[in-house]
Amino acid sequence: MLKDKHLLKLEDYPKEDIQNIIETAFTFREVLDRPIKKVPSLKGITVVNLFFENSTRTRISFELAQKRLSADTVNFSAPTSSLKKGESFKDTAQNIEAMKIDAVVMRHPTPGAPKHLTDFIDAVVINAGDGTHEHPTQAILDMMSLKEKFGYIKGLNVGIIGDINHSRVARSNIYGLVTMGANVTLCGPPNLIPDNIINLGVKVNYNIDEVIEWADAVNVLRIQRERMGIGIIPSEREYRTLFGVTEERLARRGNELVIMHPGPMNRGVEIDDRVADSDQAIILDQVLNGVASRMSILYLLLGSKEEG
């Protein structure tokens, strides 16, 4: 079982637990390849998917993982607009608590929101992305995908490319990869990479060609179109020219570079069409591993409840 009752972040998360989650995920991955993809592991367990922010793939991935484990699932989505000042977060939390559920999977636009939820309720809380803080299950599935591809994580050179400052995927990947012994280099416009981030045990390089040359795999982050034209990124074409993962760039490398992307992609901006659809991209494997990783996490956090 896992040391922490919740999965809120990968910062300071025990290495053994990350290993355990990934190993278990591979066994669930086998389940997903069977004709009947359902196991009774979480029968009688109720999970609420509480999504305060739009999400397609993460929500579906969690929901599928819950259904494959035979858990009862309830979805609650609240539009972002109702989250303005005045709505009581505490009221929402206590309403959920009153309904006697076992776990909450939470996506929220505010960093720390899942942590706040644990202050108000007893149920297990799984962070499905909290603002620009962390997205631990994404990092788990990314690491699982690296493990699947390379057979190991320790010693791998991994580049993370894009808007690091506003990326929960980047933060969770940094913590997870550093804990597992990978070498991490961040790449992107300097005004989207805080200088102090080197304290997390990573390197920063603004030259994408050097990073592509160095890396075994790169995780290409979605560049938010909202960042364009407000003084952070001058234009899409400038971003593509300086930081886009293009066919031409990859061609300069001798051997194949593994390409990851957490989705959804801006094709033609941070990643070229042909790169995204190429064999070296493991983007769809990531999606499948996402279901297996989330099954593993749900099982390890909630599996013992059923017996107790």
Could you tell me if 223 and 270 are in contact, meaning their C-beta atoms sit under 8 angstroms apart?
Answer: yes
**Residues that contact other proteins, how many (by CB under 8 A):** 29
Determine if 115 is a binding residue for other proteins (CB under 8 A).
yes
Best CA proximity match to 258, nearest among 183, 180, 147: 147
Binding to other proteins by residue 171, rule CB under 8 A?
A: yes
Residue 83 touches other proteins, criterion: CB under 8 A: yes
Asked if 110 touches other proteins (CB under 8 A), the answer is yes
Mask for 192-211, x = binds other proteins (CB under 8 A): --x-xx-xx-----------
Which alpha helices (H) appear in the chain, and where do they start and end? Answer: 15-33, 57-68, 89-98, 113-120, 136-150, 168-179, 208-214, 236-243, 247-251, 273-276, 283-307
Q: What binding mask, one character per residue, do residues 23-42 give for other proteins by CB under 8 A, x or -?
A: --------------------
Site residues (CB under 8 A) for other proteins, limited to 151-170: 165, 168
Q: Which of 3, 84, 100, 252 binds other proteins (CB under 8 A)?
A: 84
**What's the full length of the chain, in residues?**
308
The pair of structure tokens assigned to 60 is 């579906």
Task: Say if CB 221 and CB 162 are below 8 A apart.
Answer: yes
Q: Is residue 81 at the binding interface for other proteins, with CB under 8 A as the rule?
A: no
Q: CB nearer to other proteins: give 18 or 276.
A: 18
- The whole-angstrom separation of Cα 308 and Cα 305 is 5
Which residue in the set 104, 106, 113, 146 belongs to the binding site for other proteins (CB under 8 A)?
113
**Contacts to other proteins from residues 224-253, by CB under 8 A:** none
